[in-house]
Structure 1
Amino acid sequence: MSAALRPLATATGLVLAYYLLPLNRRFEGSAAVGLVLGLAGVTALFMWQIRSILRSSRPRLRAVESLAATVPLFLLLFAATYYLTEQARPGSFTEPLTRTGALYFALTVFSTVGFGDITPHTDAARIMTMVQMAGDILLLGVAAHVVVGAVQSALGRAPAGRG
């Protein structure tokens, strides 16, 4: 597969998995545990990806591939959590959330657009949304800084002209 197509294929595969995975179980109290474990998994994946950027012969491409996996996975984790929360406790949001509605809400929070058409109604839903907001800031700020630093470090070790 072409190196340029891998990031697109990764993101597409993650979105397909989100829609195809059986998310029909009631999550009840374990939604928070699932979210924490998922965030730990995303963090571990991100750390592994930083190491692979540092070791890569093409760190810029590896950085794009890393972000193409980390950002969608982060957003889909929250979308799944919102969806399962609404299934377990209808009325957690201003409208019932389908998978697409939950993904829309996660992307709206991530982009800080905040149309206001879907808002969290319960304290649990508000807490999850606040955790996503804080995670968004970390992902956009800290993660981007770390990825750029890893690329610069890898490029500094190598002969000019690669990327």
Structure 2
Amino acid sequence: MSPPDDRHQGRAVIGHILRSTASIALLTLLYYLTPMDQGVGVDTLVVLVAGLAVFGLVVYRQVNAITRSEYPRLRAVEALATAVPLFLVLFAVVYFLIAQEYPATFSEPMDRTDALYFTVTVFATVGFGDITPVSESTRALVTFQMIADLVVVGLVARVLFGAVEVGLRRKGDEESGPPPA
């Protein structure tokens, strides 16, 4: 297999950037447009658990795609651009629903943007302190998110970049051809 030419490689980079951007935009759009008026209850827990399962499935599928990709590094960046926003939007939905049903669970009322902002500040571990969880149950949920953030940053990133290494080895094996007989 001959190495791809610069134009092919440039188109691949542009394609990955466009898909990554589209993924982020679509997840953000769905977050703002999806009706969320069912309140908090067992349904909220189901949304969180189902969302985490979907997140795991997305990561699993992305790992497989990375190992088979012509450009594993680009595919890994695209995978992160899909998985991390999905993870953040999932927690933002839960925080938004809790804040709507039980406004006293946070230090101030939260709309969707505030919930997303809060989620990202927890994920980034900067915690500005302007919005804080007040109730014990909400603090427990935020603590769970912090632990899950560490898993996403550490384990998921490691798995994705391990898949890059596998993809690069596979690609190198294909380029070198079969061993001489």
Greater radius of gyration (CA): 2
Q: In the alignment, what sits opposite 1:81?
A: 94
TM-score normalized by structure 1? 0.93
Per-residue CA deviations over 1:8-66 (Å, capped at 9, x if unaligned) read 11111111110011112212343223211211110111111111111112211111111
Q: Structure 2 unaligned segments of length 5 or more: list them.
A: 1-13, 176-181
Matched, 1:67 2:74: no
Q: In the alignment, what sits opposite 1:14?
A: 27
Deviation at 1:7, TM superposition (A): 0.6
Q: Which amino acid aligns with 1:89?
A: Y
Q: Structure 1 unaligned segments of length 5 or more: list them.
A: none
Q: In the alignment, what sits opposite 2:48?
A: 35
Q: From 107, 112, 115, give the equivalent of 2:120.
A: 107
Q: Which amino acid aligns with 1:106?
A: T
Q: In the alignment, what sits opposite 1:140?
A: 153
When the two chains are superposed, the root-mean-square deviation of aligned CA atoms in Å is 1.6
TM-score normalized by structure 2? 0.84
Q: Aligned equivalents of 2:172 and 2:58: distance in 1? A: 28
Q: Which amino acid aligns with 1:45?
A: V
Q: Aligned equivalents of 2:47 and 2:122: distance in 1? A: 20
Sequence identity percentage: 45
Q: Aligned equivalents of 1:29 and 1:129: distance in 2? A: 18
Q: Does the 8 Å CA contact 2:92/2:115 hold for their aligned counterparts?
A: yes
List 4+ stretches of structure 1 deviating above 6 A: none
**Across the two proteins, how many residue pairs are aligned to each other?**
161
